[in-house]
Amino acid sequence: MLVTHGSLQGITAASRSPLATAAGTGRLAVTVGNFDGVHRGHRAMLERLKRKASELGVPSCVLTFEPHPREFFTPQAAPARLTRLSAKLHVLRDAGIDRVHVARFNANFASQSPARFIEDVLVKGLGCTWLLVGRDFRFGAKRAGDYAQLEQAARLHGFELEAMPEVCNAGERISSSAVRSALQRGDLEQAAALLGRPYSIAGRVAHGDKLGRELGFATANIRLPHPPPLAGIFVVEVLGVPSVEAIPQRAVASIGVRPTVMESGVPLLEAHLLEFDGDLYGRRIEVKFLHKLRDEEKYPDLETLKDAIARDAANARDFFAAKSHG
């Protein structure tokens, strides 16, 4: 999968070489969105994109944004991210998308008119020959552009436009907001139903303060650059462990601000693997959330914290035992 970055504004056909096809035509089948979480609705969109790209004989292309527009406009009130950019790119690659362009969402990009977005980004920047968006898609400064304007532009510029129908689960429209809501209330089953897979967080294992090892429960730590959409103590599976990368490893995980030992309020994901005690530093792992055990708590001392971790590990083992016999 080819990944490119930039604003795409002012790019001409002659300078579009990073996005040109092997035949040099520069024609792409395109869809646009944040794709936060890459849930079942997104995946249906990606499947439609790939089928049409194959019919047309052109590469499939996803245009997405970094940062999320709501993070740019209202950083303090922006929703928690479901997926960081690197993880999203992994999922898009595994979904079979040929190309992804990550547009830098900055003041210049945000201020462009709908007409400029169509001409500079879609037509000149990406060489869009077929475009798939939802009928509620809005774009351009102050979200002034809509589907009707795209219909007019499609006739003017000669690209084909298609509306993606809503995808529902039990009568509910599948959306990133719905996934986020399920995670925030600890309903991992509902989140998995909307995502089409268990919710997961991926990242590289970083060095921590080694407190878990001192307490007898060594952890693999993933730093979280954005506030997570869930918090508490969870039964999880970990992928990416050396020599058994494809085999999920049973674990218990804490995601939160560790109020007993820290006052920074900075969230951290810590996973204690129940059957592995090797070195994971620097490795990219994926932590899949299966079941919530409890909320995060502040304890009076480390001994009480140690006892709580021991109970969590025991409860996680019981969960896996019941699952294997169920």
Two structure tokens written together for 86:
């690197």
Q: What is the residue type of 275?
A: E
- The answer to whether domain 199-325 has CATH 3.40.50.2000 is no
pLDDT in tens, 107-139: 999 999 999 999 999 999 999 999 999 999 999
Q: In this predicted model, what pLDDT tens digit does every residue of 32-48 receive, in sequence order?
A: 999 999 999 999 999 99
SS (H, E, C) 263-283: CCCCCEEEEEECCCCCCCCCC
- Check whether 25 has a pLDDT greater than 50: no
SS3 89: helix
- Mean of pLDDT values over 156-182: 96
Q: Are 152 and 161 in contact (CB under 8 A)?
A: no
pTM assigned to the model: 0.87
CA 173 and chain centroid, separation: 18
Q: DSSP letter string over 41-76?
A: HHHHHHHHHHHHHHHHTS-EEEEEEES-HHHHH-TT
On the question of pLDDT at 152 being above 80, the answer is yes
DSSP 8-state code for residue 227: -
Please state the domain extents for the chain: 2-169, 199-325
Strands of the sheet containing 284-294, edge to edge, are 200-204, 284-294, 232-239, 249-256, 268-273, 220-223
Cα–Cα dist 201/284, whole Å: 11
Q: Report how far residue 288's alpha carbon sits from residue 196's, in angstroms, rounded to the nearest whole number.
A: 13
Q: Are strands 99-104 and 268-273 parallel, antiparallel or unpaired?
A: unpaired
Question: What is the token pair recorded at 44?
Answer: 């249906």
The number of helix segments (H) and strand segments (E) in the chain equals 10, 14
Question: Which CATH homologous superfamily contains domain 2-169?
Answer: HUPs (3.40.50.620)
